[in-house]
Structure 1
Amino acid sequence: MGMISNIGAYSFLMSRVFKKPQKRKIFIKSLLREINDLGVNSVGLIAFTSFFVGAVVAIQMYNNFKTSAFPIPDYYVGYATKVVLILEFCPTIISVVLAGKVGSFIASSIGTMRVTEQIDALEIMGVNSPSYLILPKVVASLFFNVILIMISLLMGILGGYFAGSFSGSWAPVDYVQGLQMASPDFFIYYCFIKTIVFAFIISTVPSYYGYTVKGGSLEVGRNSTSAVVWTTVLIIITNLMLTQLLLD
């Protein structure tokens, strides 16, 4: 019953979120602020993480190929690294990282407004508080998470390139040749479909936990933790469902 009631409350909240903003100028101002808070401030973390994981993926691919019973050319390191980053690492693992960073920020910021009665004040003034507080976060996430994943792809590929350059395990020209090998166009569509779905989860689930918090600062912290946990769980489950649906 608790799970069903939570789903019902979440659905009702979302029905209030996706309504036309009451004042366009205020919405645009809030949207720009959320793009900075949720997106721009995450670029450094995403770039750093993607660069080193891309290097690790490339090294692992090289070692696996070298221990294979069949000789595999070095340029397949670049191709395999590219495909792994597109299919799984960038859209899924980076979204999990964002669930921790962005999700906790969203839940705690909205939760603080709830316990300090700022949301109640908005409702008294006739403001649709879910649309005012949550809609800019959803739009900002849907827009900027796509850019973050593009940055992640670029940095991951660069990480693999520099891993080969510094280790000398494979020639950079072979790595670039592997990157230029054709892969199915649908892989890119699949990557960004997952990115958009995960961005929606990252922005709405923590918003729900923050908006419905009851109590004081201690409860805000607990709800922020629950928001990150459930956002991560939903991303993993949704990843399985989308993979089965889109790649079957």
Structure 2
Amino acid sequence: MSKLGKYLIFLGKLFTNPEKFRVYLALTFQECVDIGINSVLIVAIVSTFLGAVTCVQTAANMDNPFVPQYIISLIVRDSTILEMGPTITCVVLAGKIGSNIAGQLGTMRITEQIDALEVMGINSRSYLVLPKIIAAMITFPMLVTLACFLAIYGGYLAGWLTGAISPQEYIHGLQFQFKGNYMIFALTKSVVFSFLIVTISAFKGFYTKGGAYEVGTASTAAVTNSCIAILIADYLLAQLLVG
């Protein structure tokens, strides 16, 4: 059977024979802390500097005196909301969260903890993976929203400190012809990307065989495959929702 077929079967078994709701509730809250709150710092640092760099580089290339200054912040706004906010943030999270999930489940597999759950009659896929999916689909849109805000604010600070654009012009550019559906697009991408990251990483970790070396290999494969899936989904969603 192909890996895609095994992956689809893995997804189907996530929703069979589930545990009681209160079991998932407690696990989901814990996963929200692990996936969401523990990722705030890295998301804040990356997004702030990305926004600042985008503003500075855009201003450096806008040397035409006939082009108004507010175009700089308009470019920062649209590039952040449409691409950098959801896509770059989720690629970063794929490295942090994806490797963690694959390593955790891979270690549980080679130490036979997953086998012990199945012997007790527990659907190990649903018990271990479903709370991670729910937590990621809740926290990723929040992290992407934070990333968009900090990237735009980082551009504001960079433009003001370097003198590339005045604060008044920057704010005017942010407000100029703003389309609210861009945020809906960004949040939709974050939900789709969160599902791909968690399920692909869990799939790689769940079917790990061997020892410590294979766990490391599974973690690397989880990050690589998640990033590829994000880029493919990014293109498809852009065609579907924007194109």
Q: TM-score, normalised by structure 2?
A: 0.96
Letter in 2 for 1:89: M
Map 1:78-117; keep pairs closer than 5 Å. Answer: 78-117=73-112
Which of 62, 66, 74 in structure 2 is aligned with 1:71?
Answer: 66
Letter in 1 for 2:61: N
Tell me if the contact between 2:55 and 2:72 (Cα under 8 Å) persists in the aligned partners.
yes
The alignment of Structure 1 onto Structure 2 pairs a total of residues equal to: 243
- Residue identity over aligned pairs, in percent, reads 40
Partner SS for 1:137: helix
The alignment status of 1:213 with 2:208, answered yes or no, reads yes
Tell me if the contact between 2:90 and 2:190 (Cα under 8 Å) persists in the aligned partners.
yes
Letter in 1 for 2:190: T
Gap runs ≥5 in structure 1: none
Equivalent residue, structure 2, for 1:175: 170
CA distance in 1 between partners of 2:137 and 2:4 (Å): 22
Tell me if the contact between 1:65 and 1:71 (Cα under 8 Å) persists in the aligned partners.
no
Equivalent residue, structure 2, for 1:36: 33
Map 1:4-15; keep pairs closer than 5 Å. Answer: 5-15=2-12
Runs of 4+ aligned residues of structure 1 deviating over 6 Å after TM superposition are none
Q: CA offset at residue 61 of structure 1?
A: 1.7
Equivalent residue, structure 2, for 1:123: 118
Q: Which region of structure 1 is more displaced relative to structure 2, 106-115 or 72-81? A: 72-81
Letter in 1 for 2:9: F
CA distance in 2 between partners of 1:195 and 1:22 (Å): 27
CA distance in 2 between partners of 1:20 and 1:142 (Å): 22
Partner SS for 2:25: helix
CA distance in 1 between partners of 2:61 and 2:55 (Å): 10
Equivalent residue, structure 2, for 1:27: 24
CA distance in 2 between partners of 1:200 and 1:22 (Å): 20
Tell me if the contact between 2:52 and 2:157 (Cα under 8 Å) persists in the aligned partners.
yes
Partner SS for 1:205: helix
CA distance in 2 between partners of 1:230 and 1:171 (Å): 42
Which of 160, 177, 180 in structure 1 is aligned with 2:155?
Answer: 160
Tell me if the contact between 2:51 and 2:154 (Cα under 8 Å) persists in the aligned partners.
yes
Task: Provide Cα deviations, 1:179-198, integer angstroms capped at 9, x if missing partner.
Answer: 12122232122211111111
CA distance in 2 between partners of 1:95 and 1:137 (Å): 15
Tell me if the contact between 2:17 and 2:123 (Cα under 8 Å) persists in the aligned partners.
no
